[in-house]
Structure 1
Amino acid sequence: MIRHSWALLILVGIGCTKGGGGSNNFSLAPEQTGFAQELEYNNKIDVLWVIDNSPGMGDYQVKIAEQADSLINFFVERGFDFQMAATTTDMRSSGERGKFLGIPSILTPQTPGLVDLFRARIAPGNSGSGTERGLEAMKLALTPGQHTSTNGGFVRSDAALVIVFVSSEDDWSVGNSIDYIDFLNNLKPIFEFGAQGWLANYIGIIEDSTECRTLGEFSDLGYRYMDIVGASNGVNQSICSSELRTALENIRERISGMIMEYKLAREPVAETIVVTIDGVVVPNDAVNGWTYHPDRMLIRFHGSWIPKANETVKIDYQPLRAK
C-alpha cells in the first residue's frame, strides 16, 4: 500500500461591519478550505491473461507477445507489486481448464527472465479447442481450491485483480454474462478505501467491419467478453490492428488508472479541485491529466500523468458541505 500525506488547512474568519447608529453587525465570513486527507492507493495487482488458443490465433498471439517488454517495463517503472499468469480458453478434458501455463506459473517482478517468460505465456499456440470458453476458464482459474499446485496464491486479498481476455471470437461458456460478473464482484469487491476491486479488458472483435473478418466472411463479435468489460469500466481493443502496441498501451494505462484512483474524503465543489504531483499542477484532461468521477468521489489519472509509486500527489478542493 502506497500512502501520500498532505496538510489540512481550514480558515474561518469573522467579519465585522458597521451598521447605522454606530452598532456593530457581525457575520460569519465564507469558509475558505484547503482540504486535505491521507491519500492512499494499492500498488498490488494480480493480472490474469485468458488467451484463445484455437486454430487461427497464432499470428494475433505473436503481435501481443512483441509488446511484452513495453508492458512489463511500464509496470516495473511504476513500482507496481504485480503477479501475472495466463491460461487458455480450452476447456476440453485435454485442455488447460483454467490451469496456469508454464513453470513458474506465476510471474513477479523478481522472476528471472521475466519478459521472455511472459512472451511464452501469452503465445501458447493454436492447437486448442475451437469452442472458446474463456469465461469458464477464468472462473476456474480464480476459484479457490482449483489447480492449487499452479494457481494457488495468485489471488491476494489486498491486491486488485485484472483480467485480459484475448480472442478472435465470442465466448461459448455455460451460463450468462451476469453469472461471471457476480462471481468477480464477490471475489473482489470494492476496497474499503474506495478503489475498484477488479477490472476486465478485451482484445478481440469489437465491431462488425469488413476490415476485421476472423471467420471467413464473418465477424464474430465478443459480446460476452464486452459485457464483462463494461461492468468494470474496462477497455475493449480491436485484435485486427496491424500491430497491437496501441491496444496494449490503452490497457496498461487503464490498469494504472484503476489502481491509482483516489477516493476523496468529502464531496468537493468540482470546480475547485486542484491536483499536483511533486508540486506540478496536473491538467484536468481525460486523455492526459486527471478526471473527477462524482458517482464514487474519485480522482482518476490518465496518460503521462499517471503517478509513479514514489511521487507525492496532492489534491486540494473546497468541500461542498461543511461538516
Structure 2
Amino acid sequence: MTNQLLSKFIIALVISQSIVACKLTPDSGSSSGTTDGGSNTSQGGGTVQPSPSPSPTPSPVPTPSPTPSPTPSPTPSPTPPPTSGDSTGSPDVNCGTAVAGILDAGTISINNGGVLTNSMQVNLSLDRQFVRSMKISNTPDCSCGTWEPVAATKNWTLGKANGVNAVSVQFRDYDGSLTICASASIKHDNLPPQISLVAAAGNTYLTATNNIFNYAATDAGSGVKAVSCSLDGQAVSCAGNSGSIATSNLSSGTHKVVVTATDNLNQSASANLSFTISSPYREITQNKSVTADNKVDILVVVDNSPSMQDVQKNMAKRVSSLMDQVKNLDYRIAVTTTDPSSKTVGDGRLLPLTGFTNQYVITPAMGLANAQTALSNTVQRPEVGSASEQGIYATYRVIERALAGEVNQKALFRPDAAFSVILISDANESATGAKNKPQNLIDFVKSNWPNKRFNFNSIIVRPNDSACLSAGREAYGPTYDALSRLLGFGTVGGSIIGSVCASDYGAQLSGIGQSVQQMTKTLDLECAPIGSTQSAVLVLKDGSNYTDAYEIQGLKIVFQNSLPAGKYTLSYKCQ
C-alpha cells in the first residue's frame, strides 16, 4: 500500500511539472516568428502570457521511505521579446530572407485598386483582423521592411520610377504568429509619350504637289490614349498611334506640322516639323500707271552716212504713211542721227526741223500737213555724217541729255507717254561700249521710267538677207535686230523689223505707225506668264478687276482697247 501511494505521488509530481513547462513554452506559431527587421527568431515580437491553469494538489500521504526521487527535467525559460519593438520605418530597409507565415493573409491595395500612377507617393489600404503589427515591403515577398503598428491606410513611397512596383504586407498577431505575405502591384509612369515625326523621302516641297509626313507615338508606361495632328494651327486627320499626314497645294512659304500624343495618365507631348514650300514658278506682281491713253513720243534715228542718201530720199517720200497711223494720237516726234561724234548733228543732239525756225519737236499743234512736211524734210539729210553708225548709242545719249535738262531733248519726253524709236540704217552698231548694248538701253529706259512702254523699230539689212546686202548696202544689222526682238517683235504694239532694201517704205512706216498706235493698248511683262494667253494674268485697275479682253503676246499683255488712265496691278506666274 505504501508503495502504491508513493507511485501515485511521483506520477502526480511529473504531470504537474509538465503542465508548468507547457505553459512556459511558446506556441507552435511562435517558431516561425521574426525579429523586427526580418531576422529569424523563435517567436514573434509580443511577450506571450501563460494561461492561469492551477497545478493539481496531491493527496496527503505518509512520509515515504528514503527511496531516491527521479530528477525532473529542467524547465526552459521563455525567449525574451525582440528589442526593436513595433516601430514605423522607411521602405526597403532591413531586408533579409522572406519568412513564410502560417496565418491567413491580410489584404493590401494601392490607390484603391488603381493600376497606374504618375506619382511615387501612393496610398495603401490594409486589412487584417486580430493582429498587432505589420511590415510593408517594396518587394513582392515581404522580405524587407520594419515592423510597425497596424493601420488601415498608409502613405507609401514606391521603390521604382517608370516601371511595375510590387508592394507587400505581412501581419503579426498578438501571439507573434505571422500571416502569409499579401502583395499588390501598380505601374508607375511619369514620362509623356515618345513621338517620331519625319518627312517622307520623296517630298518635293513645291506648290501644287503633295508632301507626306510620317509619325509614330509610343508610350512604354501607361500607353497612348489619343493622338492629334495639326498643320499651320489647323486640325488635320490622324490615323491612330502611327500613320502619315498628307499636305497638298500649299502656298509658297514656311509651314509647320505638329503631332501631339496623350497617354492614359493624361501626360502629353508634342513634336513639330517646319518646312518650306517653294514655287517652281516666280510669282510676279507689277504695278503700272497709265495717266493718258494716247500719248506717244517718237524718236527717228537716221543713218546720215554716205551710203544712205537714197534710203533717206525714199523715206522722206513715204512719211505720210507713218503720220496717217499716228495722226489721232497725242504725239511728239523728233529726229537725230547715228553719228556718235558730230558737235552739231551727232552725239544725241536733236536736229532742228527743216523749214521751221528754232523748232525741234513735231506736235499735233502744228497741223497734220505741217507735221508731215517737217518730218519729210528733216529725215532727208544734207550733211555727210560719220561712217561709224551708232543708233543705239545715239538713243542712249538723247535720253541722257533729256535727263540732264537740255531743253530740246527734255521737250520730247513725257513720263506718261509710250516711247518708240524708228531706226533707219544699212549698217550695224559699229561699237560695243556700254551705251551700245541693247539690254543696257532697255534697262536705262526702265530705270528712269519704270512704267513707260518702249519699242525699237529697225529698218535695216536683215540678218541673212544676202540679196539686200549685195545691193550696195554696208552690213547686216544683227545688233538692231536683237534689240527689236527683245522689245516685243512680232507682237501687237511690239517692235517692227523692216528692210532698207524695200522699194516702197510706205507699208513699213504704216506698220510702224500702227504698232505705235497699238502701244496704247499694251503693258510690258517681266516674263512670259504660265497658263492661258487669255487668262494667265490677273489685272486690277484702281483696285478692281479690269475686264477688258486681252491676249498675252511674248512679254506683252495686249488689250482689246486702249488703256484708260489709272493704276494697274498685274499678277502672274512665270517659269
Residue by residue over 1:119-178, the C-alpha shift from the partner in whole angstroms, topping out at 9 and shown as x without a partner, is 122222450000001111111111234571321221111111111111000012422332
What does residue range 82-93 of structure 1 map to in structure 2 within 5 Å? 82-93=331-342
1:71 to 322, 326, 341: 322
Does residue 55 of structure 1 match 2:314? no
The letter of the residue matching 1:59 is: D
Q: Which amino acid aligns with 1:292?
A: E
Q: Which residue of 2 aligns with 1:225?
A: 480
How far apart in 1 are the matches of 2:366 and 2:330?
12
Q: 1:140 to 1:178 in 2, by over 3 A?
A: same
Q: Return the letter of the residue paired with 1:97.
A: D
Map of 2:419 onto structure 1: 161
**Residue identity in the other structure for 1:298:** I
| Whole-angstrom distance in 2 between the partners of 1:297 and 1:137 | 26
Name the CA shift for 1:89/1:219 in 2 (closer, same or farther; >3 Å). closer
Partners in 2 of 1:203 and 1:250 — Cα distance? 12
Worse-matched range after superposition: 166-175 or 218-227: 218-227
In 1, the alpha carbon distance for the partners of 2:334 and 2:378 equals: 8
- Quote the sequence identity (%): 22
Q: What is the distance in 2 between the residues matched to 1:161 and 1:98?
A: 16
Structure 1 position 258, deviation (Å): 1.7
Say if 1:56 and 1:126, in contact at 8 Å, map to a contact too.
no
- CA shift digits 1:29-49 (9 cap, x unpaired): xxxxxxxxxx99620000001
CA contact (8 A) 1:98 1:137 kept: yes
Native 8 Å contact 1:99 1:147 kept in 2: no
Structure 2 residue aligned with 1:152: 410
Q: Secondary structure at the match of 1:212?
A: helix
For CA contacts below 8 A with separation 6 or more, give which structure has more relative contact order.
1
> What stretches of structure 1 of length at least 5 have no aligned partner?
1-38, 273-289, 302-306, 311-323
Structure 1 Cα separation of the partners of residues 385 and 556 of structure 2: 44
Q: Deviations over 1:59-115 (max 9, x none)?
A: 111111111122213212xx2111000100112244421111113101101125211
Give yes or no for contact 1:168–1:214 (8 Å, CA) kept in 2.
Answer: no
**Whole-Å Cα distance in 2 between the matches of residues 219 and 238 of structure 1?**
13
Q: Distance in 1 between matches of 2:360 and 2:471?
A: 32
Deviations 1:250-289 (CA, angstroms, capped at 9, x unpaired)? 21122122212379xxx997679xxxxxxxxxxxxxxxxx
Q: Report the Cα offset of residue 219 of structure 1.
A: 5.8
Distance in 2 between residues matched to 1:227 and 1:170, nearest whole Å: 11
Cα contact 1:58–1:126 (8 A) shared by 2: no
Distance 1:142 1:215, change over 3 A: farther
Match of 1:108 among 342, 363, 368: 363
Distance 2:523 2:457 in 1: 21
Who is 2:296 aligned against? 45
User: Is contact 1:85-1:105 (8 Å) kept?
Assistant: yes
Larger Rg: 2
Asked if structure 2 preserves the Cα contact closer than 8 Å seen for 1:140 and 1:146, the reply is no
Give the partner amino acid of 1:116.
T
Cα 1:74–1:253 shift into 2, 3 Å = closer
Per-residue deviation, 1:309: 10
1:99 to 339, 344, 349: 349
Q: For 1:224 and 1:125, how far apart are their aligned partners in 2?
A: 27
Tell me which of 123, 129, 143 is aligned to 2:380: 123
1:275 counterpart residue number: none
Q: Check 1:296–1:182 CA distance in 2 against 1; reply closer, same or farther (3 A cut).
A: closer
1:200-246 deviations in Å (ceiling 9; x for gaps): 11001113233212685x76221221222112111111110111122
Counterpart CA distance in 1 for 2:315 and 2:504 is 8
CA distance in 2, matches of 1:142, 1:235: 21
**What is the aligned partner in structure 2 of residue 318 from structure 1?**
none
Conserved? CA contact 1:141–1:147, under 8 Å:
no
Kept in 2: contact 1:71–1:252 (CA 8 A): yes
Aligned mate of 1:80, from 329, 339, 352: 329
Within 1, Cα distance between the matches of 2:553 and 2:320? Answer: 36
TM-score of the superposed pair, with normalisation by structure 1: 0.65
C-alpha separation between the residues in 1 aligned to 2:384 and 2:534? 55
Question: Which residues of structure 2 form unaligned runs of 5+?
Answer: 1-289, 353-357, 489-494, 525-529, 536-548, 565-575
Letter in 1 for 2:409: N
Code of the aligned partner of 2:396: K
Equivalent position of 1:213 in the other structure: 469
The answer to whether the 8 Å contact 1:71/1:248 transfers is yes
When the two structures are aligned, how many residues end up with a matched partner? 241
AA of the residue aligned to 1:198: F
* Residues in 2 aligned to 1:62 and 1:80: alpha-carbon distance in whole angstroms: 26
Task: For 1:1-323, list aligned pairs within 5 A.
Answer: 42-76=293-327, 79-94=328-343, 95-102=345-352, 103-111=358-366, 113-125=370-382, 127-143=384-400, 144-146=402-404, 148-173=406-431, 174-175=433-434, 176-189=437-450, 191=451, 197-213=453-469, 216=472, 220-233=475-488, 234-261=495-522, 292-293=551-552, 298-300=557-559
Is the 1:200–1:235 Cα contact (8 Å) retained in structure 2?
Answer: yes
Question: Please, which moves more after superposition, 145-154 or 66-75?
Answer: 145-154
Larger fraction in strand: 2
Give the structure-2-normalised TM-score: 0.38
Cα distance in 2 for partners of 1:142, 1:261 equals 22
**Separation of aligned partners in 2, 1:240 and 1:110:** 34
> Does the 8 Å CA contact 1:293/1:299 hold for their aligned counterparts?
yes
Q: Distance in 2 between matches of 1:181 and 1:271?
A: 27
For residues 515 and 531 of structure 2, the distance between their equivalents in structure 1, rounded to whole angstroms, comes to: 24
1:268–1:109 CA distance, 2 compared to 1 (3 A): farther
Give the residue type in structure 2 aligned to 1:68. Answer: V
Alignment RMSD (CA, Å): 3.2
Name the CA distance, whole Å, in 2 between partners of 1:89 and 1:271.
Answer: 40
